[in-house]
Amino acid sequence: MEILIMEKFDKTIYGVIAGLILPIIGFFISYPIKKLPTTSFAEYVDYAMSGDNQQDILIFCLIPNMFLFYFTNFRWNTYNLTKGLVGVTLVLGVLLFIITM
């Protein structure tokens, strides 16, 4: 039954959408985990864009994509969804590299 449900979502566009939304969710999750005790959210965003731990924070945002990749590729065998997810993750990784240079 689970496989039939996942076949419905096996489209590349769903992987692209998930690949774009999950890093944003990852950024919001990283705030309570990595913030300094007196840092507001606005300061955290500025710190993520130009601070000392910029690369660490931005890489943390890609972790939800890695978790979804595990499930879509190895558990659910939804290869078209995985293709969209990996494509977006690679583009975001290159952008991360360019931003942190």
Query: pLDDT tens digit string along 51-96?
Result: 788 889 999 999 999 999 999 999 999 999 999 999 999 999 999 9
- The Cα–Cα gap between 7 and 39 comes to 43
- The Cα–Cα gap between 94 and 85 comes to 14
CA-based radius of gyration for the chain: 15
Domain hosting 77: range is: 2-99
Q: What is the pLDDT of residues 10-23, one digit of tens each?
A: 999 999 999 999 99
Tokens of 47: 């710190």
Indicate the number of domains in the chain. 1
Residues 31, 35, 40, 42: is their CA dihedral positive or negative?
negative
Query: What is the pTM for the complete model shown?
Result: 0.88
